[in-house]
């Protein structure tokens, strides 16, 4: 059976152009800095984001952890959103591996942190208190409906942080989705942050990898942090080759996925018993209304039997994520299947 897999954009298979590039990739020992494909990917990524330097790492989780380990020392504190990926879904790596204390402040429904909340979370100079070092933002915000943070908001948050001697890290796993949704150059969304990571392996379809960008000094330190967490790779140019195709061919097309997410939202909203949340990028959340007698798990399983895979969360929400391998026909088939099942 052919599955229409909407559980996440992480399920994306590499494109034929990526497989070809991987086959032909020139490689070397990257711990020695000698992998030409990785070096090219890093230069290209830094240039694309308007930063001095970049580092290829195996995952988004590792990129965030390496950034935190680089910005913060033992006992330092990082202000994070209470619905952020870093706080909720990375096993508390900053605390477990870095002795860094997360200070969660509420994410607003649009994924932002209220600047007043950030301000009041910043600790003063007092020997009783941890030292606040970092503010972490997420763009687009996964748990807050895939909403993009604007360049204006990011600049204001960075200005506040910098004025208090803090740094800013952006989890930009889907920052190209944010740029497409806001119709701005991605550089505008990251110009004021000190570090930013983005994932090659989500909507950009590469099989493995994320990129951490920042100043040359920051990336030199981050290389050390990557090594200590076991992330120094050798002939990984075979993976970087797919990442190069991701940046060259995929980063500018993600708006098509947003259009399909909107088509899906529109179709689902017409089904009695389905409540659809506003959709801004490629991530769509919906719920069953009270009159529906089936549980979310039953609906998820019945959809799966029809070849449609969606995520069902413990809070009762469904999550459907559009990506390169989801076509207009797949969207129509999904709407028809949800109508039939609900």
Ligand X SMILES: Cc1ncc(COP(=O)(O)O)c(C=O)c1O
Using CB under 6 A as the criterion, which residues of the chain lie in contact with ligand X when the complex forms?
A: 10, 59-61, 85, 138, 142, 171, 173, 199, 201, 210
Neighbours of 316 (CB within 10 A): 11
* Contact yes or no for 334/8 (Cβ under 8 A): no
274-276/283-288 β-pairing: antiparallel
- Closest approach of ligand X to the CB of residue 158, in Å: 19
Closest to ligand X by CB, 61 vs 195, is: 61
Q: In the structure encoding, which two tokens stand for residue 216, read together?
A: 């040359």
Closest to ligand X by CB, 171 vs 274, is: 171
- Closest approach of ligand X to the CB of residue 165, in Å: 26
Contact partners, residue 49, CB within 8 Å, separation at least 6: 186, 187, 190, 196, 198, 213
* Contact yes or no for 76/69 (Cβ under 8 A): no
- Closest approach of ligand X to the CB of residue 311, in Å: 11
Closest to ligand X by CB, 207 vs 273, is: 207
| Burial zone of 289 (CB within 10 Å; 0-12 exposed, 13-18 middle, 19+ buried) | exposed
For ligand X, the nearest residue by Cβ is: 60
Closest to ligand X by CB, 59 vs 162, is: 59
**DSSP-derived secondary structure for 8-43:** -GGGPPPPHHHHHHHHH-----GGGT--HHHHHHHH
Contact partners, residue 111, CB within 8 Å, separation at least 6: 81, 138, 139, 140, 141, 144, 145, 147, 148, 149
Closest to ligand X by CB, 306 vs 317, is: 317
* Contact yes or no for 286/275 (Cβ under 8 A): yes
- Closest approach of ligand X to the CB of residue 211, in Å: 11
- Closest approach of ligand X to the CB of residue 210, in Å: 6
Closest to ligand X by CB, 283 vs 299, is: 283
Q: Report the interhelical angle of 36-49 vs 237-245 (nearest 10°).
A: 40
- Closest approach of ligand X to the CB of residue 179, in Å: 15
Closest to ligand X by CB, 25 vs 67, is: 67
- Closest approach of ligand X to the CB of residue 136, in Å: 10
What does the alpha-carbon distance between residue 257 and residue 321 come to, in Å, rounded to a whole number?
A: 9
């Amino acid at each position: 059976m052919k599955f229409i897999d909407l559980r996440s954009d992480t399920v994306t298979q590499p494109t034929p152009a990526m497989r070809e590039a991987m086959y032909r990739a020139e490689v070397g020992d990257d711990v020695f800095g000698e992998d030409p494909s990785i070096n090219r990917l890093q230069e290209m990524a830094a240039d694309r984001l308007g930063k001095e330097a970049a580092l290829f790492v195996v995952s988004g989780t590792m990129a965030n952890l390496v950034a935190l380990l680089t910005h913060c020392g033992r006992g330092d504190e990082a202000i994070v959103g209470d619905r952020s990926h870093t706080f909720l879904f990375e096993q508390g790596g900053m605390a477990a591996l870095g002795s860094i204390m997360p200070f969660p402040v509420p994410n607003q429904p649009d994924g932002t942190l209220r600047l007043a909340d950030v301000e009041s979370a910043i600790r003063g100079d007092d020997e009783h208190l941890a030292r606040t070092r970092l503010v972490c933002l997420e763009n687009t915000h996964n748990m807050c409906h895939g909403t993009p943070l604007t360049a204006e908001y990011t600049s204001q948050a960075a200005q506040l942080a910098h004025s208090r001697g803090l740094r800013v890290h952006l989890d930009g796993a889907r920052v190209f989705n944010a740029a497409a949704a806001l119709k701005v150059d991605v550089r505008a969304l990251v110009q004021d942050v000190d570090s930013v990571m983005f994932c090659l392996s989500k909507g950009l379809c590469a099989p493995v990898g994320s990129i951490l960008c920042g100043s040359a000094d920051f990336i030199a330190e981050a290389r050390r942090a990557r090594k200590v967490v076991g992330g120094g790779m050798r002939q990984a140019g075979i993976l970087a080759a797919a990442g190069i195709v991701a940046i060259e061919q995929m980063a500018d097309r993600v708006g098509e996925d947003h259009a399909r997410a909107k088509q899906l939202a529109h179709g689902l909203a017409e089904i009695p018993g389905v409540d659809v949340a506003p959709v801004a990028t490629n991530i769509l959340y919906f719920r069953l209304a009270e009159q529906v007698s089936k549980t979310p798990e039953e609906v998820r399983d019945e959809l799966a039997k029809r070849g449609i895979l969606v995520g069902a969360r413990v809070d009762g929400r469904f999550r459907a994520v559009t990506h390169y391998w989801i076509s207009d026909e797949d969207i129509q088939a999904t709407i028809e299947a949800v109508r039939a099942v609900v």
